[in-house]
């Protein structure tokens, strides 16, 4: 767990990472990796890499942690509950990346955690067709990416027809979080796919090839203008996010964490809940 506290006068920002990642994504993104893929590779064409925590320091109290390895969403939601209770403040804002947004919503629905607002970055609220594809061909993919084996149950939760996704978006569940403002920021660029290296081999642009072969049948997560390589812009809008709070930038699933335009949008939202701002 990582805590940066300024004073009780300042609100808390709780950062929640996504599947297969750690808190390094917020603290030291160039040291982060997802499965076999290093963020250093994914972000190598970025001219500036400023960690999210560095942007927040001095203005907000900050808390983040690394979820237990291979944990399911409910397990991570209970971890978030413990962290939120340890802060002992009613002035909390959650910022979540990818699956982290589902963890936040689960904690709000099941454990009564009440942040002032939830800001999601590329969260697949309605599941991921990429997860559907992964589970359909899991037997083959696990030989290419052996580390997938430990995440099988977690990936199943992210499928569009999973029990978890259905329950999360049921009318009864949504009722438990309807008083909390929701913001969804997401990307529609699949650019990072052609940068991925496995061992010493540079992969071709998977997203571009899929789109050429399958055309409109290509899943939106992999289709430029419709997804960020991992999530689709359509899925990245919770049932409680009003249209003006659904913001799309030309970023991918990795650089959304360091993009200046995204940060400026997040900063504007945070200022609405900060009494210390002029």
The whole-model pTM stands at: 0.90
Strand partners, 3: 63
Residues 6 or more apart whose CB falls under 8 angstroms from that of 55 comprise 263, 267
Instruction: Look at residue 54 in the predicted model and tell me its pLDDT.
Output: 95
Average pLDDT, the chain: 88
Q: What is the pLDDT of residues 107-136, one digit of tens each?
A: 999 999 999 999 999 999 999 999 999 999
Instruction: Look at residue 214 in the predicted model and tell me its pLDDT.
Output: 46
Tell me the C-alpha distance between 128 and 83, whole Å: 28
Q: Which domains does the chain have, with CATH numbers?
A: 2-191+230-271 (3.40.50.1820)
Average pLDDT over residues 28-33: 88
Q: Which residue would you say has higher pLDDT here, 48 or 226?
A: 226
Sign of CA dihedral 218, 243, 260, 11: negative
Instruction: Look at residue 194 in the predicted model and tell me its pLDDT.
Output: 46
* Dihedral pair phi/psi, residue 93, rounded to 5°: -125, 130
Sheet of 2-4, strand order: 2-4, 61-64, 12-16, 92-97, 117-121, 182-187, 246-249
Q: Please give the angle made by the CA atoms of 49, 53 and 59, to the nearest 5 degrees.
A: 125
Residues 6 or more apart whose CB falls under 8 angstroms from that of 278 comprise none
Pair 23, 65: CB distance under 8 Å: yes
Instruction: Look at residue 59 in the predicted model and tell me its pLDDT.
Output: 92
Instruction: Look at residue 236 in the predicted model and tell me its pLDDT.
Output: 97
Average pLDDT over residues 236-265: 95
Instruction: Look at residue 217 in the predicted model and tell me its pLDDT.
Output: 55
Strand partners, 185: 121, 247
Q: pLDDT band for 278, please (50, 70, 90 cuts).
A: very low
């Amino acid at each position: 767990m990582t805590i940066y506290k300024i004073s009780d006068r300042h609100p808390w920002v709780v950062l929640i990472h996504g599947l297969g990642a750690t808190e390094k994504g917020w603290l030291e993104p160039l040291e982060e990796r997802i499965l076999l893929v290093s963020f250093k590779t994914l972000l190598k064409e970025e001219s500036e890499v400023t960690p999210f925590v560095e942007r927040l320091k001095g203005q907000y109290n900050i808390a983040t942690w690394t979820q237990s390895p291979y944990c399911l969403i409910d397990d991570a939601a209970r971890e978030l509950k413990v962290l939120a209770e340890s802060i002992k403040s009613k002035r909390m804002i959650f910022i979540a990346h990818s699956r982290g947004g589902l963890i936040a919503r689960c904690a709000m629905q099941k454990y009564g955690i009440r942040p002032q607002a939830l800001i999601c970055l590329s969260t697949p609220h309605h599941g991921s067709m990429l997860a559907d594809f992964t589970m359909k061909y899991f037997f083959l993919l696990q030989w290419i990416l052996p580390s997938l084996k430990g995440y099988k149950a977690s990936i199943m939760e992210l499928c569009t027809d999973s029990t978890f996704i259905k329950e999360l978006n049921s009318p009864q569940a949504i009722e438990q979080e309807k008083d909390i403002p929701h913001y969804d920021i997401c990307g529609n660029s699949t650019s990072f796919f052609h940068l991925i290296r496995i061992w010493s081999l540079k992969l071709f642009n998977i997203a571009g090839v899929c789109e050429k072969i399958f055309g409109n049948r290509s899943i939106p997560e992999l289709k430029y203008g419709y997804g960020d390589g991992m999530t689709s812009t359509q899925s990245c809008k919770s049932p409680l996010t009003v249209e003006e709070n659904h913001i799309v930038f030309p970023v991918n699933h990795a650089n959304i964490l360091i993009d200046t335009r995204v940060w400026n949008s997040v900063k504007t939202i945070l200022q609405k809940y900060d009494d210390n701002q002029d």
